[in-house]
Amino acid sequence: MFALVTEKAYGQHRSYFDALDNEDHGLQWLRLADDGVLHGPSNAHPEVGWLSSDVFFGGLIDRFFEIVEAAPEFRWLQSAAAGVDLKEYQRLMSRGARMCNAHLTAIPIAEFVLRAVLDVFQDAGRWRAAQAEIRWEHHNFREVWRSRWLIIGLGAIGAETARRAQAFEAHITGVRRHPTGDEPVDAMISPAEMPAALPEADVVVLAAPATPETENLVDENFLSAMKPGSVLVNIARGKLVDDEALLRALEGDRLATAILDVFNTEPLEPDHPYWTHPKVVLTPHSSGGGIGRWDRGAELFCDNLRRLLAGEPLVNEVSSMQLLTTDLPFALGSQ
C-alpha cells in the first residue's frame, strides 16, 4: 500500500513511521516535498494519505489534493484539521473514500484561554510595567476561584476549556444545541436559554462554529446583557461578533476586556481600532499554535492507519451526513 505524507512530516515523525514499517504492513511512503515534487516509486498512486498541519500552512494543499484526486484507488484520508467543509473532502467521499478529522488544537486553545483570562484577572501588565520601571509595587487582583463561566459551544475546544476552568473551581455553564450528557460542566443550557445566563457570567467564551445562525451572535442585545466587569473571549470565528457593537460596548463599563484571537477580516486591517484599544487583548489567530499538536497528529494518523489495515473502526471518522450538517450551531468545536 502506498501512503502519501509530506517530506517534512515524514522527517519530523520518523519514529512513528519506522514503527509501522517494523510491523510489516507492506507500506511504501510517497513523500511530498516543499517544492511540490513527489518522492517515491515512479508512477505510484497513494491509497491513503495524511493531510498534516504543514500542508495547510506550507502552500501544498492544492498539490496534495491534485495527487490524491488523480489516484484511482485512494480510499482513506486523515486530516489534521477539525473542519470538514473543504470541497475536496466532498469530492473524495463522493468517490467512496473514507475520511477522518482531528481535534489537535483543542488543548493549546484551552490553555490559551485560561492564560489570557488569568492575565486579565490578575492585571499582570502592572507587574510587567513595574519591573520595566524597577518599581516594587503590590496590587490586588481577581481570582478565577468561584467565578462563573459561560462557554458557548461544547465541542472539543469548549470541553477542554471547561475542564481547565473547573480545575480552578470556577462554575461552568455550557451552551449546546444537542448535548451528549457527558460534557464537563456544572450546568448545561440550550441556545434559547443563553440570554438569561449572560448577566451571571464573569467570563464568556465563544467556542461555536461560524454558521448563519451564529453570525453576529454577539450583538448589541448580547453585550448589553453581559455582567458589568465581565470578560469576553473569542477563539471561535470573527463572524460571531458584531465589531461595531463590541467597540461601543467597550466604551462603557460593562465589559472589562475583550480577548480576541479571531476576526472578521484576517489579517486584521492595520488601522482597525482593536489594535490600540486599551480594553482589547489581541492575538493573530494563534491560540491553536501549541507544538504538541504535531505529535498528536502523527499518533492519530498511525493509530487510524493500523485500524484501517485491521478492519477496525476509525477514530473521528466523518460521515457524509456530517458534511451536510456542518452548519448546525454548537454541534462541533470551532477549530
Residue 85 confidence (pLDDT): 77
Catalytic residue among 75, 254, 272, 285: 285
Tell me how far apart the alpha carbons of residues 247 and 281 are, in angstroms, rounded to a whole number: 13
Angle subtended by helix axes 61-69 and 87-94, to nearest 10: 10
Looking at CATH, the fold of the domain delimited by 106-282 is given as: Rossmann fold (3.40.50)
14-65 pLDDT, tens per residue? 999 999 999 999 999 999 999 999 999 988 999 999 999 999 888 899 999 9
Tell me how far apart the alpha carbons of residues 214 and 231 are, in angstroms, rounded to a whole number: 19
Tell me how far apart the alpha carbons of residues 142 and 5 are, in angstroms, rounded to a whole number: 47
Residue 22 confidence (pLDDT): 96
Is 266 part of the annotated catalytic residue set?
A: yes
Model confidence at 275, pLDDT cuts 50, 70, 90, reads: very high
Residue 323 confidence (pLDDT): 62
Please state the rounded mean pLDDT for residues 272-276: 98
102-142 pLDDT, tens per residue? 999 999 999 999 999 999 999 999 999 999 999 999 999 99
Is 106-282 in the same CATH topology as 2-104+291-324?
Answer: yes
Q: Where would I find the beta strands (DSSP E) of 88-147? A: 98-100
Average pLDDT, the chain: 94
Residue 330 confidence (pLDDT): 31
Domain boundaries, the chain: 2-104+291-324, 106-282
- Cell (9 digits) for 8: 517534512
CB of 254 closer than 8 Å to CB of 237: no
Is 272 part of the annotated catalytic residue set?
A: no
Catalytic residue among 73, 137, 200, 266: 266
- Cell (9 digits) for 131: 519591573
Please state the rounded mean pLDDT for residues 319-328: 57
Tell me how far apart the alpha carbons of residues 3 and 64 are, in angstroms, rounded to a whole number: 12
Residue 171 confidence (pLDDT): 98
CATH of domain 2-104+291-324: 3.40.50.720
Residue 44 confidence (pLDDT): 95
What pTM was estimated for this model as a whole?
Answer: 0.87
| 289-311 CB burial, b ≥16 within 10 A, e <16 | ebeebbebbbebbbebbebbbee
Is 285 part of the annotated catalytic residue set?
A: yes
